[in-house]
Amino acid sequence: MQISSKQVGLVRAFNRDYTRRIGVLREGLLDSRFTLTELRVMYELADRSGSTAAELADGLDLDRGYLSRLLKHFERSGWLRRTTSSSDGRRQHLTLTAAGRALVKPLEHRANHEVRRMFAPLDSQRVQSVLDAMQVIQTSLGDTPATQKLRFRSHRAGDMGWVIARHGELYASEYGWNQEFEALVAQIAAGFVQNFDASRDRCWIAERAGKRLGCIFLVAEDADTAKLRLLLVEPDARGLGLGRELISRCVHFAREGNYRRITLWTQQTLTAARHLYQQAGFVKVSEQPHHSFGADLVGETWEFRL
């Protein structure tokens, strides 16, 4: 469909108004020294620690030459670190340094404050109307949620609450487990956050169109052993290969971290998860009957030798 000249004018007027409201035309976005593109790259590096330059370029739709110059500037400034992959010397993984993370954190807070300030004059109904309109624009002009690519990112505020709630809800509805299981998940999630070491531990959240679809954790058990925990895939995302991809990312991270083995504890009744572990190369090394979560279960320990 071809739109009229009047409709083109309305779109351009909206673009001018919105870019003014979010401060895109200011010399430094969020009263910082950074342009919009520089901040987008910074945010992606914070969210996708360990990505390669090619993955960043594809994810942000940026010219690779321009991105390369930007990354070199970040590196010279002490905000970015490159690590050569131990499995492929041609690949370099990008992570923000402590200085880089310290730079991004206040900008995140400022960006959140700007959004809240913009919405403050609106009542709840109008807030929802604006959010709904944004969703319509995003899905109408881009991919629909069903065709958008899956995205895998590290954890951020709010994720642990979702992990706990969805484990509790799904395992109650699908296996009849009681709230003892939800309490266990809460303990694991809290311990992960409290003891998090980015060089040894990792959480991946899988999402599409901003909706969380799955998660997995890898945590240090000792110097040589990592433990895979809390694999979950939402029912409407099963069959997409999401579980296999999450497990594969754990194995890759463990190899990069020079672990010698990955262990996990699962239950004999979790046949789909057990099948994924077996496909990935895990081997069952022991089993033990127990009564937990309001059910008679057979716990199994599986191991993957790296």
Instruction: Enter the DSSP assignment of 196.
Output: -
Q: Residue 271: how many CB atoms within 10 A of its CB?
A: 9
If asked whether residues 132 and 24 sit together in one domain, one would say yes
Structural element, H or E, at residue 243: helix 242-256
Total of domains in the chain: 2
Highest mean pLDDT: which range of 30-44, 132-146, 175-189, 202-216: 175-189
For residue 108, give the CATH number of its domain: 1.10.10.10
> Which tokens belong to 157?
């505020």
For residue 180, give the CATH number of its domain: 3.40.630.30
Q: Which is nearest to 155 in space by CA: 73, 264, 93, 230?
A: 230
If asked whether residues 276 and 219 sit together in one domain, one would say yes
Q: What is the mean pLDDT of residues 12-29?
A: 62
If asked whether residues 12 and 106 sit together in one domain, one would say yes
Q: Which is nearest to 254 in space by CA: 216, 205, 202?
A: 202
Of 141, 170, 185, the last residue of a domain is: 141
Virtual CA dihedral for 256, 257, 258, 264, nearest 10 degrees?
-100
* In-domain check, residue 32: yes
If asked whether residues 276 and 297 sit together in one domain, one would say yes
Query: Could you identify the residue written with the tokens 């099948």?
Result: 275
Cα–Cα distance measured from residue 54 to residue 56, given in angstroms and rounded to the nearest whole number: 5
pLDDT band at 28 (very low <50, low <70, confident <90, very high): very low
If asked whether residues 121 and 238 sit together in one domain, one would say no
Of 122, 141, 160, the last residue of a domain is: 141
Query: Could you identify the residue written with the tokens 């994720």?
Result: 159
* In-domain check, residue 232: yes
User: What is the value of pTM for the model shown?
Assistant: 0.56
Structural element, H or E, at residue 275: helix 271-280
* In-domain check, residue 146: no
If asked whether residues 130 and 193 sit together in one domain, one would say no
If asked whether residues 198 and 130 sit together in one domain, one would say no
Q: Residue 58: how many CB atoms within 10 A of its CB?
A: 13
pLDDT band at 147 (very low <50, low <70, confident <90, very high): very low
Q: Report the relative pairing of strands 225-233 and 261-267 from DSSP bridges.
A: parallel
If asked whether residues 276 and 255 sit together in one domain, one would say yes
Q: What is the mean pLDDT of residues 170-186?
A: 96
Q: Residue 103: how many CB atoms within 10 A of its CB?
A: 20
Is the distance from CB of 48 to CB of 59 less than 8 angstroms? yes
If asked whether residues 90 and 30 sit together in one domain, one would say yes
Q: What is the domain range of residue 166?
A: 151-305
In the predicted structure, residue 27 carries a pLDDT above the cut 60: no
Return mean pLDDT, the chain: 85
Which residue type sits at 301?
T
Q: What is the mean pLDDT of residues 222-230?
A: 96
If asked whether residues 27 and 131 sit together in one domain, one would say yes
